[in-house]
Amino acid sequence: MANWALPDVEQNNVKLRVMTVFGTRPEGIKMMPIIRELRRHPSMEPIVCVTGQHRHMVDQVFSAFDERPDVDLDIMAPNQTLGDVTAKVIVRLNEVFAAEKPDVVLVHGDTTTALAAAIAAFYAHLTIGHVEAGLRSFDLQRPWPEEFNRVAIDSVADLLFAPTDGAAANLSKEYNRRGQIVVTGNTGIDALLHIAARLGVEPALEARIAANYAFLDSNRRLILVTGHRRESFGPGFQSICDGLTAVAARDDVQLVYPVHLNPQVQGVVRQRLSESPNIHLIEPVDYLDMVFLMRRATLLITDSGGIQEEGPALGKPVLVMRDVTERPEALASGVVKLIGTDPEIMRREVDALLDDPVECANRSRAIFPYGDGTAAVRIVKAIEELAR
């Protein structure tokens, strides 16, 4: 168990300075509910720090939630390695911690930003909270480097915010765990339900977003595709593109693929898919647009962890272009299915969903294995109770 040294917010009448550190769009989406909840508590003083790991895409998240960063490390440079990013974040955060003097540092998930921020906070003897702790594929190579990142973060975190009972069970078995486990649900569901509700009650907003996709054919079923995992770079992405080409040969579908900005994704995807008339390759979209597209889609094909959580909550079947996943809860429901990167398997699984109405209906059930939309409330409550 960790040895915490937090100020007593009740006896000393001080505010607890809680710094959230993130750098990518998925992290930003899942941290926004926590930031908003921290602002509701007079005893808390949130400090929002971004590293700039996904410069353009994380800026979109701030816009969607009407938030802004307090500290921007702006560490990105062309062609830098994971080691470069890690080193820059650690060095810069050492300076930021000295200036801002946070009591708690919250990191999210499994990114390079999260790992580097946790290391920097550990070196600075700060209390570390890991949001979305305990996810495991039990294979350090898949997903790479994410599995290593989250295992390492969990080994130094003081508060382990597990999204599910299964994640908590993973943590309880680890010999080097020192942190307190709190099952909270997933903050991604908080964010999703917030944005989906906005679209439901703001018809002008939904109409404005819909106008961005006037090219879509209302008579064709929409398949939304995302893909960016490093372990698929090279032959894996070539196979993914072959599978998407085979799926797009159907005359009753249209694929929308917001292409990740990583050059190793952009190159192969645009080379292999740009000539297919039923595939729309578009620039990365902001979170409002992504929720709109997910709601409109018939099914989702992805290698994203977040969409494995969001799709079930929206009642959308999800085909995951990976061989293993750290999110087994949705797999158990049958709504999410692993298909790897084999083109024939992809085409066969899509056909099975689109050509069998009963199968499609069974896998289009809205389920909530990752929480009820109140994860941020539980996280902030746990931090507050710790300070008492």
Set 230, 272, 296, 378: catalytic member: 230
Residues near 8 by beta carbon (within 8 Å), at least 6 away in sequence: 387, 388
Q: Quick check: is 230 catalytic? A: yes
Set 27, 103, 110, 326: catalytic member: 110
Q: How far is CA 258 from the centre of its chain?
A: 16
User: Pick from 91, 147, 100: which is nearest to 119 by CA?
Assistant: 91
Set 27, 37, 132, 286: catalytic member: 132
Give CA–CA dist 312/318, Å, rounded. 8
**In this structure, which amino acid lies at residue 361?**
A
Give CA–CA dist 287/25, Å, rounded. 9
User: Pick from 352, 332, 270, 338: which is nearest to 302 by CA?
Assistant: 338
Q: Quick check: is 217 catalytic? A: no
Set 260, 280, 327, 347: catalytic member: 260
Residue 4: exposure state from Cβ atoms within 10 A (0-12, 13-18, ≥19): middle
Q: Quick check: is 146 catalytic? A: yes
User: Pick from 62, 53, 64: which is nearest to 24 by CA?
Assistant: 53
Question: How many other β-carbons are positioned within 10 Å of the β-carbon of residue 172?
Answer: 12
* Look-up of token digits 């750098």: 23
Q: Quick check: is 194 catalytic? A: no
Set 92, 228, 322, 347: catalytic member: 228
**In this structure, which amino acid lies at residue 312?**
P
- Whether the CB-CB separation of 48 and 27 falls below 8 Å is answered with no
- Whether the CB-CB separation of 63 and 56 falls below 8 Å is answered with no
Q: What token pair was written down for 177?
A: 């765990």
Helix (H, G, I), strand (E, B) or coil at 57: helix
Set 27, 37, 103, 146: catalytic member: 146
Q: Quick check: is 132 catalytic? A: yes
Give CA–CA dist 100/95, Å, rounded. 9
User: Pick from 4, 318, 179: which is nearest to 170 by CA?
Assistant: 179
Helix (H, G, I), strand (E, B) or coil at 146: helix
As a 3-state breakdown, the chain gives helix, strand, coil percent values, each rounded to 5, of: 50, 15, 35
Q: Quick check: is 110 catalytic? A: yes
Question: How many other β-carbons are positioned within 10 Å of the β-carbon of residue 117?
Answer: 31
Q: Where in the sequence numbering do the catalytic residues fall? A: 110, 132, 146, 228, 230, 260
